[in-house]
Structure 1
Amino acid sequence: MTYCVGLRLNKGLVFMSDTRTNAGVDNFSVTKKLFKWEIPGDRAITILTAGNLATSQALISLLEERSKTASERNPTILEQPTMFQVARLVGATLKEVIDESGVDGQESSAKFRASVIVGGQIKGGEPTLFLVYPEGNFIEVTDDSPFFQIGETKYGKPILVRAYDPEMSFEDAIRLLMVSMDSTIKANLSVGLPLDMQVYEKGSFRIGAQARIAVDDPYFATVSEGWGDALRAALEHLPQFSFNQN
């Protein structure tokens, strides 16, 4: 499994993903799940992937190949006029990969499912995010739903729902996503460090700050420990329950 988040702020976009893949409880490995394309001054595009590893790797390989090989430049992610058209291309390519993998029909195709978050900005449009489903269809981020998650989403979502603020700085948003990741890692063995992080500043049309947060990263350890302490302190400050209160 995996856990990836794309978050829209007034300042731009923030992306974070884990890197763990597993084929059983005793077979874990590290695999990149955050990918980027850019033409400085024109566009910056980021993709996060979750689901069947073979499917997601084939999707990225096709998008890369069609972006770099002259004879295959149409359709290419680097020539789409809008982010909506980028999402359509990614959705169609994902569906193509899944359909080709599931040669024995719909039941077999289900084994090759993957989901994708597509985000970025193309000159003439606003920064945005799309959640692309295995069937190739997709939805766009809104003010009511300002972030997307894929993979193992349930453990980290309550934190995002309670603490997200569109006016957040990139630094505060990264701290928030680290807490969301930490909660997921502690609850699910199939999600783990290292984490990949990237930001995109609105109107820059280039990939912003990016980093890999290692297993022994001291800041992440501080956030993890501090969050646990804060939760215990908050619990202690809540009114004491009594069986006789009614």
Structure 2
Amino acid sequence: MTYCVGMVLDRGLVFMSDTRTNAGVDNVSTFRKMFTWEKPGERVLVLMTAGNLATTQAVVSELDERSKAVDERAPSLLEAPSMYQAARIVAGMLRDVIARHNQAGPAAESPFGATMILGGQIAGGPPRLFLIYAEGNFIEAGEDTPFFQIGETKYGRPILVRAYDPDMDFEAAVKLLLVSFDSTVKANLSVGAPFDLQIVQRDQLALGPSQRIPADDPYYDAISRRWGEALKSALEYLPDFSL
């Protein structure tokens, strides 16, 4: 399983992904699920993936190959005129890869299925964030839906819904995401550290701060421990039920 979150802030975009994949409890591996492309001063793009590993790796490999060769018949993320067109490229690639892997076509229930989050900024436009489905269609984040999750989403969603604020700074956003990821890790063994973090600052048109956060990271440990203590304290503060 997987857990990835992309979030839109007034200051830009924040991305975080786990790195655990498994084919059973005795076959757990670490694979990167976040990928980036940039032309400093012109564009920056971040892609996160969830689903069948062979499918997602094939999509990323083909996107990489297109970015290194000029071919009008095979548009590249580094040549797309807008983030919308970049999303169309990724969506089409995902649909085509699934179709090749599964002759029955790109059905959502296909064992070769995958979902992706694409975000970034291209000169002349604002930062944008898209959720791309296995069928090759996609939706864009907005005021009503300012963040996207893929993979094991349910455990980490409540804290995001309650605490998200578009005006929060990047430091607060990373703290919020780590709480969300910690809640997911505690509830699901198929999600785990290390976590990959990438920040895209509005109008910088280049990759911002990035970091890999291991399971024994002191800050993550403090967040996990203090969040657990805070929940217990909050529960004790609530009025008791009367029988």
CA gap of 1:211–1:72, structure 2 versus 1, over 3 A, is farther
- Describe how 1:199-210 pairs up with structure 2 within 5 A: 199-210=199-210
Amino acid corresponding to residue 46 of structure 2 in structure 1 = T
Partner of 2:177: 177
Is residue 214 of structure 1 aligned with residue 214 of structure 2?
yes
Partner of 2:81: 81
- Greater shift, 95-104 or 184-193, is seen at 95-104
Instruction: Supply the distance in 2 between the matched residues of 1:128 and 1:52 (Cα, whole angstroms).
Output: 25
Instruction: Supply the distance in 2 between the matched residues of 1:80 and 1:33 (Cα, whole angstroms).
Output: 22
1:70, CA displacement in angstroms?
3.9
- 1:192-223 CA deviation, whole Å, 9 max, x = no partner? 00000010000000000000001211110000
Amino acid corresponding to residue 166 of structure 2 in structure 1 = P
Instruction: Supply the distance in 1 between the matched residues of 2:103 and 2:124 (Cα, whole angstroms).
Output: 41
- Describe how 1:112-123 pairs up with structure 2 within 5 A: 112-123=112-123
1:109, CA displacement in angstroms?
7.3
TM-score, structure 1 as length reference: 0.96
Partner of 1:33: 33
Instruction: Supply the distance in 2 between the matched residues of 1:105 and 1:74 (Cα, whole angstroms).
Output: 21
Secondary structure of the residue that 1:117 maps to in structure 2? strand
Q: Indicate conservation of the 8 Å contact 1:65/1:72, yes or no.
A: no
Partner of 1:223: 223
Instruction: Supply the distance in 2 between the matched residues of 1:3 and 1:72 (Cα, whole angstroms).
Output: 35
Q: Indicate conservation of the 8 Å contact 1:8/1:14, yes or no.
A: yes
CA gap of 1:187–1:79, structure 2 versus 1, over 3 A, is same
CA gap of 1:95–1:186, structure 2 versus 1, over 3 A, is same
- Describe how 1:1-246 pairs up with structure 2 within 5 A: 1-71=1-71, 74-104=74-104, 110-243=110-243
Instruction: Supply the distance in 2 between the matched residues of 1:111 and 1:56 (Cα, whole angstroms).
Output: 12
Runs (5+) with no aligned partner, structure 2: none
Q: Indicate conservation of the 8 Å contact 2:11/2:167, yes or no.
A: yes
- Greater shift, 34-43 or 66-75, is seen at 66-75
CA gap of 1:51–1:106, structure 2 versus 1, over 3 A, is closer
Instruction: Supply the distance in 2 between the matched residues of 1:107 and 1:136 (Cα, whole angstroms).
Output: 10
Amino acid corresponding to residue 49 of structure 2 in structure 1 = T
Instruction: Supply the distance in 2 between the matched residues of 1:104 and 1:11 (Cα, whole angstroms).
Output: 43
- 1:60-84 CA deviation, whole Å, 9 max, x = no partner? 0000001113458831110000000
Secondary structure of the residue that 1:110 maps to in structure 2? coil
Q: Indicate conservation of the 8 Å contact 2:107/2:113, yes or no.
A: no
- 1:112-132 CA deviation, whole Å, 9 max, x = no partner? 000000000000000010000
Identity %: 58
User: What is the total number of aligned residue pairs between the two structures?
Assistant: 243
Q: Indicate conservation of the 8 Å contact 2:66/2:74, yes or no.
A: yes
CA gap of 1:106–1:125, structure 2 versus 1, over 3 A, is closer
TM-score, structure 2 as length reference: 0.97
